[in-house]
């Protein structure tokens, strides 16, 4: 019943009728067997309900049959329309296929004709442009060949001119290895620089040793010198009154000076040794500094001459032959005069400086307590 109420299909009514018919036979048997009045009432009530249900179902069945008949007629009518539409569709489809086939045939023929025309035009265009391009290429090839010949001729001329100028410079230098002169002087300058640095380090070493020796001597002899009692009448120095005295008188005076000095206990021997060693060390430092300066000056001359040699090549090319010969002579004199040893080496100790130091030392000694 619920399924019929929800869907309204006639098949559900047929199923209900079959089920009710199957249940009526057992109910009639149960009714005949039962003598209870209450059961009879219930059965009567059930019969009435079943009868009313059957009547309602019959009415609904009739209504459904009428609706089904109407729907069937509508279905047949729609089926006829569908068949008519299907025929129209098939007819239109065949017409469309025919039109499409005709259009394709026309398009294919037109496309083929256009393709043939385009191929002919393309071939003609390519042939024409190939001729124009080939003409341009040939023209540019001729231009490039002519320019190449001109450039090659100019380069050959420049190379020959460079070779001639280079050879003239080599002839002017009169050196077999003229191109390596500057490099040789630079190498010599580097060697002199190394020697100058070495002698400078030696000089600094002598100065350091001198300082260490003076500090050591000062602290070693300070205690001894502090304990010496100097007599008030000790003779430290004596001025010479007459310039033309004989050497023997000078020696006698010196002996007279030394005796009192030795008698007072002052260690002149240690002081003289300290000053002697300091002087030797300072002389070594001065000699090393002199050698360092000498090598440094040689290095400067070598580097300056190497720079002049490098600048000489571009400068001489634009001069006349006579000027080149004159410069050649001057350069040769400078090249072969670099190692001249005519100049005397500077003295290790300057006489003026030695005299100043001696005077200062005499003044210091004169101020010692007598």
Could you tell me if residue 65 is inside a domain?
Answer: yes
Which of 50, 80, 104 is at the close of a domain? 104
Q: Consecutive sets of 10 residues in the chain, 370 residues long: mean pLDDT of each?
A: 65 72 65 59 77 83 86 88 88 87 82 85 88 90 90 90 75 50 76 89 88 81 53 37 42 42 54 77 85 89 78 70 76 61 49 54 53
- φ, ψ of residue 339 in degrees (nearest 5): -95, 20
Statement to judge: residues 39 and 182 lie in one domain: no
**Is 28 domain-assigned?**
yes
pLDDT the model gives residue 150: 92
In a domain, 119, yes or no: no
Q: Does 137 map to a domain? A: no
**Pick from 201, 197, 195, 191: nearest CA to 285:** 201
Which of 104, 122, 155 marks a domain boundary? 104
Task: State whether 360 and 272 are in the same domain.
Answer: yes
114 within some domain: no
Find tokens 């050649």 and name the residue: 328
Q: Which of 54, 71, 104 is the last residue of a domain?
A: 104
187 and 49 co-located in one domain: no
What is the domain range of residue 274?
Answer: 178-366
The token duo for 129 is 């442009």
Q: Is residue 348 part of a domain?
A: yes
Q: Is residue 149 part of a domain?
A: no
User: Could you tell me if 64 and 13 are in contact, meaning their C-beta atoms sit under 8 angstroms apart?
Assistant: yes
Considering the domain architecture, whether residues 301 and 205 belong to the same structural domain is answered as: yes
Domain count, the chain: 2
Helix ranges restricted to H, the chain: 2-7, 10-33, 37-173, 181-226, 247-263, 268-316, 321-335, 351-366
Distance (Å, whole) CA 219 – CA 300: 44
pLDDT of residue 250: 42
Phi–psi pair at 61, nearest 5 degrees: -65, -40
């Amino acid at each position: 019943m619920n399924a019929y109420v929800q869907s309204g299909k006639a098949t559900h009514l047929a199923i209900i009728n079959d089920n009710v018919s199957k249940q009526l036979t057992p109910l009639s048997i149960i009714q005949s067997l039962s003598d209870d009045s209450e059961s009879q009432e219930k059965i009567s009530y059930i019969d009435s309900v079943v009868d009313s249900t059957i009547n309602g179902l019959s009415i609904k069945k009739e209504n459904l049959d009428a609706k089904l008949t109407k729907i069937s007629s509508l279905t047949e009518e729609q089926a006829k329309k569908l068949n008519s539409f299907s025929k129209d569709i098939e007819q239109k489809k065949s017409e469309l296929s025919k039109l499409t086939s005709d259009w394709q045939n026309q398009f294919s023929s037109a496309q083929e004709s256009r393709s043939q025309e385009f191929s002919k035009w393309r071939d003609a265009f390519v042939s024409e442009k190939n001729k124009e391009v080939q003409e341009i290429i040939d023209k540019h090839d001729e231009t490039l060949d002519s320019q190449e010949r001109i450039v090659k001729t100019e380069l050959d001329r420049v190379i020959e001119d460079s070779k001639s100028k280079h050879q003239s410079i080599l002839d002017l230098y009169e050196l077999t290895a003229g191109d390596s002169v500057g490099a040789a002087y630079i190498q010599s300058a580097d060697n002199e620089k190394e020697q100058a640095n070495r002698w400078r380090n030696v000089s600094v070493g002598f100065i350091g040793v001198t300082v260490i020796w003076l500090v050591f001597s000062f602290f070693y002899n300070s205690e001894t010198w502090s304990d010496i009692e100097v007599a008030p009448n000790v003779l430290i120095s004596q001025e010479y009154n007459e310039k033309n005295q004989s050497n023997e008188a000078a020696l006698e005076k010196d002996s007279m000076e030394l005796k009192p000095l030795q008698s007072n206990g002052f260690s002149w021997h240690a002081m003289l040794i300290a000053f002697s060693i300091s002087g030797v060390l300072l002389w070594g430092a001065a000699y090393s500094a002199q050698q360092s300066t000498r090598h440094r000056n040689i290095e400067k001359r070598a580097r300056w001459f190497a720079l002049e040699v490098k600048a000489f090549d571009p400068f001489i090319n634009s001069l006349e032959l006579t000027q080149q010969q004159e410069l050649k002579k001057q350069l040769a004199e400078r090249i072969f005069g670099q190692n001249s040893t005519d100049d005397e080496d500077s003295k290790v100790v300057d006489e003026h400086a030695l005299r100043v130091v001696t005077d200062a030392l005499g003044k210091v000694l004169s101020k010692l307590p007598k």
